[in-house]
C-alpha cells in the first residue's frame, strides 16, 4: 500500500492508503513523498487571479440542487456570520444545532 505524508503540528505525519484513495488524499493536502510534505509551501494569494476572470455561475440552472445538506465550510461561514465561536471538535450535527439556535433566538 502506498504511503502519503503531510507536515503536522508534531512533525511529519504519514499513513498507508489504498491505491485508489491516494488521489483523494493528495487533494486533501497530503503528499506522496516526504520531501514534498516537508518543503515550504508557496504563499497563497489573497484573491485568486483566475477568480476575477471566471464567468459567473448560473444559479438558475436545473443542475443546481438545493436538497443537499450544507458543507462544513458553509456552516462554519454561517456561524462566523452569526457571531458563533466554532470549536473544531464539534460534529457537523452540533454545529448545525448551534446555528439553528442562533437563528431562532
19 within some domain:
yes
83 within some domain:
yes
> What's the predicted TM-score (pTM) here?
0.40
55 within some domain:
no
- Give pLDDT tens digits for 65-93: 567 888 888 899 999 999 999 998 999 99
30 within some domain:
yes
The helix or strand, by DSSP H or E, that contains position 3, with its residue range, turns out to be strand 3-8
Number of domains in the chain: 2
31 within some domain:
yes
Which pLDDT does position 105 carry in this prediction? 77
Which pLDDT does position 29 carry in this prediction? 87
96 within some domain:
yes
56 within some domain:
no
Give me 30's grid cell: 497530503
Give me 17's grid cell: 492508503
49 within some domain:
no
CA-CA distance, 16 to 4, in Å (whole number)?
Answer: 6
For residue 102, give its domain range: 68-105
Which pLDDT does position 60 carry in this prediction? 58
Give me 74's grid cell: 458553509
Which pLDDT does position 40 carry in this prediction? 81
Residues in the chain where the model's pLDDT stays below 50:
none
CA dist list (Å): 46 to 5, 51, 75, 104:
26, 11, 22, 34
Look at the block and give the residue holding cell 450535527.
93
Amino acid at each position: 500500500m502506498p504511503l502519503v505524508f503531510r507536515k503536522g503540528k508534531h512533525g511529519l505525519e504519514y499513513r498507508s492508503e489504498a491505491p485508489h484513495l491516494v488521489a483523494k488524499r493528495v487533494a486533501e493536502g497530503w503528499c506522496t513523498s516526504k520531501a514534498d510534505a516537508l518543503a515550504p509551501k508557496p504563499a497563497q494569494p489573497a484573491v485568486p487571479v483566475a477568480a476575477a476572470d471566471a464567468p459567473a455561475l448560473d444559479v438558475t440552472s436545473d443542475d443546481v440542487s438545493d436538497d443537499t445538506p450544507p458543507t462544513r465550510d458553509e456552516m462554519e461561514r454561517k456561524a462566523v456570520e452569526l457571531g458563533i465561536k466554532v470549536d473544531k471538535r464539534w460534529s457537523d450535527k452540533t454545529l448545525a444545532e448551534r446555528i439553528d439556535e442562533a437563528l431562532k433566538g
